[in-house]
Amino acid sequence: MTARPLEGLLVADFCWVAAGPVGTRFLADAGATVIRIESSLRPDGLRMRGPYKDGVAGPNRSGFYNNFNAGKFSLALNMTTDRGRALARELVRQADIVTNNYAPGTMGRWGLDYESVRAMNPTAIYLSMPMMGSSGPRRDFRGLGASIQAIAGVNWLSGHPQRPPQGPGFNFPDYMNPYFGIFSLLSALHHRTATGEGQEIELSQYQATVSLTGESLLHAAADGVVAGRAGNTDPAMSPHNVYPCRGDDRWIAIAVRDEDDWAALRQAGGDAAWVNDQRFATLPGRITHRDDLDALIGMWTRDQSAPELAERLQVAGVPAGPVQDGGDVLGDPQMAARRHYVVLDHPETGPVRHDTQSFRLSAAEVRPTLPAPLLGQHTDWVCEHFLGLSREEIDGLYAEGVLV
C-alpha cells in the first residue's frame, strides 16, 4: 500500500499562483519529487494572500499556498543573475518534467524555452500553461481565473437570466485547467516510457476552459441556438432548485429526475399545498409552472433543517442535499469516512487539515505526506543533492544574492 506511482520522477516546477501549482500538487501526491523554483525577491502571489493561519499574514502562513503546495520542495533562486539561471538550467537538465504557467516569453528570457531545454535534455516533458496560448491576437492578454471563465463562456451560463453574468464566484478554471495539464503530461509520460521520446505540451488555459462548455458550443455551432443563464433550473427536471431552510443562509438542493422521485417527494410533503395541485401532476406541468412550484416548495422547506430534510428525502430515494459551505464540507460525515482531509504539521502553522486528491487507488498511495515548504526551505538540500555544490560554494551563493 505504500507504493507511489511517480516515485523517482524529478519535476522542475516553475509554476506559480494557483492553476500551475494545483497541477504539480497532483504530481507530488503521486510520489514525484517536485522542486519549486521560487524567490523571496518576488514571492509567489499565493504566499501573500490569505487566509493566513490565525489571521496573521506571512509568506509561510497562507492556507491558499500551503494547501496546494503540500509535499513540494522549495529552492529560492534569484533568476535575474547569470548564476541563478545557470543553476536552474542544471536542475532542468536532470528533470523528467518541466512545468510553468508564465506568460509567453518568460521562460525563454531565462534560456529555458523548450528548444533550449530539449538541446540539453531531450527526454524531458515540458508543460507550459499560458493563459491564451503562445500565438493568436490575444496572446498577451492578462488575467486571472476569473477573467478566463468570463471570456471562455462559463459566466455567460452561470447566474440568473435577468441578472448580470455573475459567474462561479471564484477562479473556477484554476482548479480545472491543471487537471487538463496533468492528463496531457501523464499521456506524454506514457509515450515516453514506450519510446524514450520527450516532448513539448502547450496548454492554452483559454481553450481548456472553453472545452468545459462544449455542450452549449456544439449546440450553438450546429443550430445557432445560444444558451443563456438558467439559474439552478434544468431543461428536463422539475422541481430542481435550492430552497430556503431554517437558519441563516441555509438551503437545500432538491432534484426530481422522474415520476418516481416526484411520487416520493409528494409522499414526504404530506399535506403541503403543492402535493395535490393538479398543475404539477405531470413533468410538462411542473416545467410550465416551475416558478409557482418552487415558491410553494420553498414555503414547505423554510422551517425545516436542511441536513435533516436531505437525509429524509435521500431515504425516500430523492436526490437532495444541504447547500454546504466550506465549514460544512470540512465537517461532513462522508468526507470524514473517506479520510479526505489529511492533517500535516507545518513548522509555522502547526497541524492543519489539507485536501487530499479526490480518489483512492487500491494498490498505491496518493496523498500528501509533507506540508508545503517554507520559502527556500530546501535550497541547501537541492544545491547539495542535485546541483553538486559544496558547503563553501553554497555559502558563497547566499552571500552573492544568488540564493534568495
Partner 1 sequence: MVQRGQPPTALGDVRVIELADRRTALCGKMFADMGADVILVEPPGGAEHRWRPPFIGGRPDPLRSARFAYENAGKRSVTARLDDAADLEQLHDLLASADLFIEGSKPGSLSAYGLTYEALSARHPRLIVVSITDFGQDGPWAQWEATDLISMSLGGVTYLGGYPDTAPVRIGGAQSSNIAGLHAACAALLALHHRRVTGLGQHVDESTHEAVAYTQEIAMQAVEYEGAVRGRLNKEENPVEHGVYRCSDGHIICTSIPRAWDGLLEWMSAKGVDISPLVGDEWRAPGYLAAHSAEFNARFVPFLASMTRDEACDEAQARELMFAPVYSAGDLIDDAHLASTRYFEERVLWSGAPSVPYPGRPYDLSVTPWRGVGPVPTPGEHSDLLRARLGAGGAR
Q: Minimum distance from CB of 16 to partner 1 (Å)? A: 15
Task: Determine if 191 is a binding residue for partner 1 (CB under 8 A).
Answer: yes
If DSSP states are collapsed to H, E and C, what string results for 72-106? CEEEECCCCCHHHHHHHHHHHHHCCEEEECCCCCH
Side-chain half-sphere CA neighbours of 100 within 13 A: 23
Burial (CB count within 10 angstroms: exposed 0-12, middle 13-18, buried 19+), residue 269: middle
Residues 34-63 binding partner 1 (CB under 8 A) are 50-55, 61, 63
Does residue 146 interact with partner 1 by CB under 8 A?
yes
Q: Does 377 bind partner 1 (CB under 8 A)?
A: no
Minimum CB distance to partner 1 smaller for 76 or for 287: 287
The minimum distance between CB 126 and partner 1, in angstroms, equals 9
What's the rounded Cα separation, in Å, for the pair 115 and 298? Answer: 60
Binding window for partner 1 (CB under 8 A); candidates: 71-79, 91-99, 141-149, 390-398: 141-149
Examine the residue annotation and report whether 44 is marked as an active-site residue of this protein. Answer: no
Residues 151-190 that bind partner 1 (CB under 8 A): 151-160, 163-172, 174-177, 179-184, 186-190
**Contacts with partner 1 in 325-354 (CB under 8 A)?**
325-330, 332-335, 337-338, 340-341, 349, 352-353
Count of residues that interact with partner 1, criterion CB under 8 A: 154
Quick check: 247 binds partner 1 (CB under 8 A)? Answer: no
Applying CB under 8 A, among 2, 82, 161, 222 the residue interacting with partner 1 is 222
Interaction between residue 219 and partner 1 (CB under 8 A): yes
Specify the residue for cell string 491558499. 64
Q: Which of 13, 29, 113, 174 is catalytic?
A: 174
Nearest to partner 1 of 308, 400 (CB atom): 308
CA 155 to chain centroid, in Å, comes to 17
Residues with Cβ within 8 Å of residue 165, at least 6 apart in sequence: 150, 155, 156, 158, 159, 229
Distance of CA 351 to the CA centre of its chain: 23
Q: Minimum distance between the CB of residue 99 and partner 1, rounded to whole angstroms?
A: 13
| Residues near 117 by beta carbon (within 8 Å), at least 6 away in sequence | 92, 98, 124, 126
Q: Which residues contact 52 (CB under 8 A, 6 or more apart)?
A: 58, 61, 62, 63
User: Would you please indicate which residues are annotated as catalytic (active-site) residues?
Assistant: 174
